[in-house]
Amino acid sequence: MRILGIDPGSETTGWGVIEGDGRRYRLVDFGSIKASASLKFSTRLLKICQGLEDVIARHTPTDCAIEDGFLATNVKVTMKLGQVRGVAMLCAERAALDIHEYSPRLVKQTVVGYGNAEKHQVQEMVRVLLSLKRAPQPHDAADALAVAICHFHHAGIAQRLLAAEAGVRLTPATATRRRAIR
């Protein structure tokens, strides 16, 4: 399984790709897509879309894990983040990735063990879990990797439960991939 994690942001969208065999995972790549606040919002959305399409084409993930929206105190900010999430989900759907959404609290709980963890705690745990020398920068990329790690753990548990119920032994070839929409 190769997972693309996305931390949506209207100025900086973090992304991270990990892969694993169902038991262990490793880092493939990570980064961020920066869209200057001086650009029109629609232009920023296009830049994010093109950046994510490039990441998907380069790394060919099978799954996309995206951080679910949260309710900001500013309604405009909440709506803009929703639009960025929509663009990210559209890119993933176009590439026929299996899309999974996780709340920020569940991601922190899964990766750090505490649902109210601070950004630096998430960065440090991502560094430890992926055996990196330094914490991923910017924090948006670390958050995206945390979302991917969260999906790896939750998807692995779900697959093992379903396999146990069906009496089937899981192998890497058991994973299926949807066809791309063209």
> Which of 25, 1, 15, 26 has the alpha carbon at shortest distance from 144?
15
pTM: 0.85
Quick check: 73 pLDDT over 80?
no
In this prediction, residue 123 carries a pLDDT of 93
Measured between alpha carbons, how far is 115 from 109 in angstroms, rounded to an integer? 4
Could you tell me the residue range of the domain that residue 47 belongs to?
A: 2-173
* pLDDT, tens only, 106-115: 999 999 988 8
Q: Kindly state the tokens that stand for 83.
A: 């639009």
Domain count, the chain: 1
In a domain, 126, yes or no: yes
* pLDDT, tens only, 102-160: 999 999 999 998 888 888 999 999 999 999 999 999 999 999 999 999 999 888 655 55
In a domain, 178, yes or no: no
Measured between alpha carbons, how far is 152 from 50 in angstroms, rounded to an integer? 25
Q: Is 121 exposed, middle or buried (0-12, 13-18, 19+ CB in 10 A)?
A: middle
Active-site residue identified among 63, 67, 98, 143: 67
In a domain, 182, yes or no: no
In this prediction, residue 165 carries a pLDDT of 64
Active-site residue identified among 63, 98, 140, 143: 140
Active-site residue identified among 7, 63, 98, 143: 7
In a domain, 179, yes or no: no
Q: Is 68 a catalytic residue?
A: no
Contact between 66 and 48 (Cβ < 8 Å): no
In a domain, 6, yes or no: yes
Q: Is 140 a catalytic residue?
A: yes
- pLDDT average, residue stretch 85-90: 96
